């Protein structure tokens, strides 16, 4: 047994870039990685006020430990710039969390090319090209990537065909990058179930129907997702895996 106690901040000295990190699940992930010692780089597109609030909150706990970067992830040419800004802020990049995502219904017969480009762009295209831009730094530092997938990558979500296809591509991205970037970079995913209800989308009856299909009988929390991301970031012998954090919903018929 080692005489040295494990660090209470296992990510000390590492830098984590979280896309869509200013609100909701992304903010919970950012807080958790920051609490574990990481220098946090929060990406946002339009949520500047939320990003500034989170910056102030976390900087009060550890001054100089948070940076902000802004970009539209649909602009492929801008993605290498996110990596460059991260390097300018901290000199390194160890962890990339591809969290940012668009989500809304696209019923067959009503879907548009613009919706296709947005949903495929945020959920598949941007994670790929940002990972590609980040790969040299992650390889140099023995880093890792965690994608936010979805349980609907395997079971299509009704009236969300484009989103479901995009998340299926995201899931394959986890597996293929785990092979392409090994052995220097580990790549994993987290597939949330019912965590945060989409704003102005589900009626009470819809929520009840979903809860009835969850063996644990309740929705999860953003902290459940953040804790799983921290596990994957900290586990040196796990790669190519997608962990469903869904209260057991994915095992239901």
Contacts of 119 by beta carbon, 8 Å cutoff, 6+ apart: 102, 103, 104, 106, 162, 163, 166
User: pLDDT for 71-97, tens place per residue?
Assistant: 999 999 999 999 999 999 999 999 999
Contact 138, 94 (CB under 8 A): yes
Q: Which of 137-151, 177-191, 239-253 has the lowest mean pLDDT?
A: 239-253
Residue 250 counted as domain residue: no
Bridge partners, 189 (sequence order): 147, 242
Residue 67 counted as domain residue: yes
pTM of the predicted model, to two decimals? Answer: 0.93
Q: What is the arithmetic mean of pLDDT over 99-124?
A: 97
Q: What CATH number did the domain enclosing 37 receive?
A: 3.40.50.720
Is 237 a catalytic site residue? Answer: no
**pLDDT confidence band for 53 (50 / 70 / 90):** very high
Residue 3 counted as domain residue: no
Number of separate domains in the chain:
1
Chain mean pLDDT for the chain: 92
**pLDDT confidence band for 163 (50 / 70 / 90):** very high
Q: What is the arithmetic mean of pLDDT over 124-148?
A: 98
Residue 2 counted as domain residue: no
Helices 161-180 and 113-120, packing angle to 10 deg: 30
Residue 6 counted as domain residue: no
Residue 178 counted as domain residue: yes
| Residue 148 neighbours by CB distance under 10 Å | 25
- Classify strands 66-70 and 39-44 as parallel, antiparallel or unpaired: parallel
Query: 47 lies in which domain range?
Result: 15-245
Sign of the dihedral defined by the CA atoms of residues 134, 77, 30, 103, in that order:
negative
pLDDT of residue 99: 98
pLDDT of residue 83: 98
Given the residues 44, 104, 163, 237, the one annotated as active site? 163
Residue 9 counted as domain residue: no
Compute the distance between CA of residue 155 and CA of residue 149 in angstroms, rounded to an integer: 12
Say what percent of the chain tops pLDDT 90: 81
Q: Answer yes or no: is pLDDT of 245 > 90.
A: yes
pLDDT of residue 126: 98
CA angle 219, 224, 229 (to 5 degrees): 140
Residue 5 counted as domain residue: no
Q: Answer yes or no: is pLDDT of 7 > 80.
A: no
| 198 or 176: which leads in pLDDT | 176
Query: For the sheet containing 242-245, what is the strand order?
Result: 66-70, 39-44, 15-18, 95-98, 144-148, 186-192, 242-245
pLDDT of residue 199: 58
Q: Which of 12-21, 200-209, 230-239, 243-252 has the lowest mean pLDDT?
A: 200-209
């Amino acid at each position: 047994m080692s005489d040295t106690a494990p660090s209470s901040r296992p990510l000390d000295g590492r830098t984590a870039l979280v896309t869509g990190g200013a609100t909701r699940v992304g903010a919970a992930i950012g807080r958790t990685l920051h609490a574990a010692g990481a220098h946090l780089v929060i990406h946002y597109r339009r949520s500047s006020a939320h990003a500034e609030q989170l910056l102030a909150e976390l900087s009060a706990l550890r001054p100089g430990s948070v940076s902000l970067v802004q970009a539209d992830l649909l602009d492929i040419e801008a993605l290498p710039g996110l990596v460059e800004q991260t390097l300018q802020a901290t000199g390194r990049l160890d962890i990339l969390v591809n969290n940012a995502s668009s989500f809304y219904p696209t019923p067959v017969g009503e879907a548009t090319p613009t919706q296709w480009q947005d949903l495929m762009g945020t959920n598949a295209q941007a994670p790929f090209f940002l990972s590609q831009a980040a790969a040299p730094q992650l390889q140099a530092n023995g880093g890792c990537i965690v994608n936010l997938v979805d349980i609907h990558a395997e079971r299509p979500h009704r009236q969300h065909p484009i989103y479901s296809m995009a998340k299926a591509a995201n899931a394959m991205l986890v597996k293929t990058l785990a092979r392409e970037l090994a052995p220097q970079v580990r790549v994993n995913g987290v597939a949330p179930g019912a965590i945060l209800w989409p704003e102005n989308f589900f009626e009470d009856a819809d929520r009840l129907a979903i809860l009835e299909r969850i063996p644990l009988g309740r929705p999860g929390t953003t902290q459940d997702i953040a804790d799983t991301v921290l596990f994957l970031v900290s586990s040196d012998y796990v790669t190519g895996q997608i962990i469903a954090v869904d209260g057991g919903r994915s095992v239901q018929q």
